[in-house]
Chains A and B, each alone.
Chain A
Amino acid sequence: NAGVTQTPKFQVLKTGQSMTLQCAQDMNHNSMYWYRQDPGMGLRLIYYSASEGTTDKGEVPNGYNVSRLNKREFSLRLESAAPSQTSVYFCASRQLGQYTDTQYFGPGTRLTVL
């Protein structure tokens, strides 16, 4: 049971380049999330997916697109990277039960846009 995995761990892009951040969870969770974490800003929600086939915007969606490929995978795409997108990106999934509500986070992707 690997939990939430993210690839790559590190990435350097030039302004205007595109890339896709991959996320997968093996816990059969319905909900998945993409956050970015910047110094002094906490975690901010970019996009989320409440179930396979659905996606919704979070707090800071501009410049990003997402795909919920299947129940396991939720990818984040930067079509034309900008220096303002330099950040640490975290993927998470949610376990919701009668008495539980736990989010499991991946290890993060550290992205630098030059």
Chain B
Amino acid sequence: KQEVTQIPAALSVPEGENLVLNCSFTDSAIYNLQWFRQDPGKGLTSLLLIQSSQREQTSGRLNASLDKSSGRSTLYIAASQPGDSATYLCASRGISTDKLIFGTGTRLQVFP
């Protein structure tokens, strides 16, 4: 059974810092790995999708990497801003399944 873990659970950084959020998964037979953002009281918004054949994806100041052999994905946020404050969740989708397995998220606060 796939298990997805995110460390740290919470992170508070000053504006301008580059930071890394970690995601670990136990079953390397994944179809893809996805990162989402959730603002307080809101639904999830998709940020980045990495297919199993890819090593990384970039969108603006966000870069996500995938290492299936070690069961890890990282989300790199460059030059963090207060507007980046949110909870970030990763989720893996297994091969031949319609289900996403979510981590518990990292709650990020960027202060001015």
Binding site for B on A (CB under 8 A): 4, 31, 33, 35, 40-45, 48, 50, 56, 58, 90, 92, 94, 100-108
The DSSP consensus for interface residues of chain B is strand
Contact B43 A105 (CB under 8 A): yes
- In the complex, the number of residue pairs spanning A and B with C-beta atoms less than 8 Å apart equals 52
- Choose one: B32, B41, B43; the contact of A106 (CB below 8 Å): B43
* B103 proximity list for chain A (CB < 8 A): 42
**Residues from chain B with Cβ under 8 Å of A4 in the complex:** 43
- When C-beta atoms are compared, the residue in chain B nearest to A9 turns out to be B41
- Which of B14-22, B61-69, B70-78, B92-100 contacts its partner? B92-100
Query: In the bound complex, what is the Cα–Cα distance between A4 and B43 (angstroms)?
Result: 10
For B99, the chain A residues whose CB sits under 8 A away are 45, 48, 58
B98 touches A31 (CB 8 A): yes
Which 7 A-B pairs rank lowest in CB-CB distance, beginning with the nearest? Answer: A105-B43, A42-B104, A43-B102, A105-B44, A42-B102, A102-B46, A107-B43
Is residue B58 contacting chain A, with contact meaning CB distance below 8 A?
no
